[in-house]
Structure 1
Amino acid sequence: MKDLRRYLALKYIQYLVLSSSNAISTLLGLLGSAYTMILLQSAKVSSKSTAVLISSLAQADILVFLSLVSDLVPGSFGVSPAASALARILLTANAHVSCVLLSCVAFEAYLITFLPLESRPLRTVRNARLISRVIWTLVAAECALFLMDDHLRDSSASGLLFQISSVAAAPLRSLSYILGILLRIINVYIYYKIFFSMSPR
């Protein structure tokens, strides 16, 4: 559907084109996700693997809403470091989940375009749900580690737990940054290939 394609275009711009989110893109993203979640409940939208991935992508914006709430509620009584750290982690989780899911949608589009018959056994609703769960689980574990590391640093803690979290968090942050760049490059390449394969020669 055209509305879903527009939503994906909005999300690609928000997460894979813009270097950082701003108020306008965040608001448009939230509104688009709310509309998409309603749209996906419609009988007009068939239950396919792409729809499952898009649904999970839209649900990821719940983290943005929770981040805004965690900033606003304590704001009435003064901003606490814990609330600020939680809001930051929620935004990180949203960005990471969204980037990976968008890449999954792009990869599926590649399979549909170039390997439609060969990839059909892989492009199932069950596999899409499994992939979504794995992505959410990995990002949750990543952000839990980041949150623990930030908490231990803020509390000036020391000991074995602090050393383990520091040793694990530092390379993980670097890896996340590198993967973010790679995902941008891969997405550009995939849609470049798709565009020129569909354009008249």
Structure 2
Amino acid sequence: MKDLRRYLALKYIQYLVLSSSNAVSTFLGLLGSLYALIILQSAKVSSKSTAVLISSLAKADVLVTVSIVSEMLVQTLGVSILSPVFTSALLQNLLSANTHISCLLLSCVAFEAYLITFFPTDSRHFRTVKNARLTSRIIWILVIAECALFQADDLLKASSTSALTHSSYALWFHISSMAAALLRSLSYILGILLRIVNVYIYYKIFFSMDHQ
């Protein structure tokens, strides 16, 4: 569990402390996720809701791995099954999806830590493996849907705007563009709120333990 706590600390720094990811934090994050997945396979780690959330968090780095490997293939070998515009947008959207999934899962872990600290008995029926798996699935589905919308919007922007304006797809173009812009704004605001909430939660936990 100490190693998993260190892994969570690394992820909090990577996604909720640093303003943007860099090569060092990304590499350490990938190594940490691989190590966490290995630890979670051990019989010594009990199957609890926190372990389920951490496992889903570690698996989210698969999106980063796919993006990095694909970009390396495109740059070094010139291998691109899809169009360059589609590929470039997809790789960037995969990284964004990884960030959003990770931030939401980290916030779920923090909220669970808050419940364990202040409401250990009352919250026991909420902190189940079933609910953790359901929460992880919902987060993945919502973020993948967000990624699909961003991908469609990027492709529409890369297309001929003048041609779309005079076609029957003009309405869909404007709706998609407005929805993507609104969702990007909401994601940015939510990211700030999650940082504030996480700091508050661990501030409360730290001082509650300090006074015990």
Query: 2:153 — aligned with what?
Result: 149
Query: 2:44 — aligned with what?
Result: 44
| Amino acid paired to 2:91 | A
**Where do residues 107-126 of structure 1 align in structure 2 (5 Å cutoff)?**
107-126=111-130
| Amino acid paired to 2:50 | T
Query: 1:180 — aligned with what?
Result: 191
SS of 1:120's equivalent in the other structure is: coil
Query: 1:6 — aligned with what?
Result: 6
- Asked if 2 retains the 8 angstrom alpha-carbon contact of 1:96 and 1:139, the reply is yes
Q: What is the Cα deviation at residue 81 of structure 1?
A: 2.4
Query: 2:73 — aligned with what?
Result: 73
1:62-100 C-alpha deviation (Å, 9 max, x unpaired): 000011022111212278222211110000000000000
Query: 1:193 — aligned with what?
Result: 204
- Asked if 1 retains the 8 angstrom alpha-carbon contact of 2:71 and 2:91, the reply is yes
**TM (normalized to structure 1)?**
0.97
1:32-90 C-alpha deviation (Å, 9 max, x unpaired): 00011111000000000000000000000000001102211121227822221111000
Query: CA separation in 2, counterparts of 1:86 and 1:110?
Result: 36
Query: CA separation in 1, counterparts of 2:19 and 2:160?
Result: 32
Query: CA separation in 2, counterparts of 1:176 and 1:104?
Result: 17
Q: What is the Cα deviation at residue 169 of structure 1?
A: 0.6
Query: CA separation in 2, counterparts of 1:116 and 1:156?
Result: 57
Query: 2:167 — aligned with what?
Result: none
In structure 2, runs of 5+ residues without a counterpart are: 165-169
Residue identity (%): 72
Query: 2:23 — aligned with what?
Result: 23
| Among candidates 87, 91, 111, match of residue 91 of structure 2 | 87
Query: 1:161 — aligned with what?
Result: 172
SS of 1:126's equivalent in the other structure is: helix
Which protein is bigger by CA-based radius of gyration? Answer: 2
**TM (normalized to structure 2)?**
0.92
Query: CA separation in 1, counterparts of 2:70 and 2:158?
Result: 18
- Give the number of equivalent residue pairs: 201
- Asked if 2 retains the 8 angstrom alpha-carbon contact of 1:33 and 1:58, the reply is yes
Q: After TM superposition, which residue ranges in structure 1, 4 or more long, deviate above 4 angstroms?
A: none
Query: CA separation in 2, counterparts of 1:66 and 1:125?
Result: 28
| Amino acid paired to 2:30 | L
| Amino acid paired to 2:55 | S
In structure 1, runs of 5+ residues without a counterpart are: none
| Amino acid paired to 1:108 | E
Q: What is the Cα deviation at residue 200 of structure 1?
A: 3.3
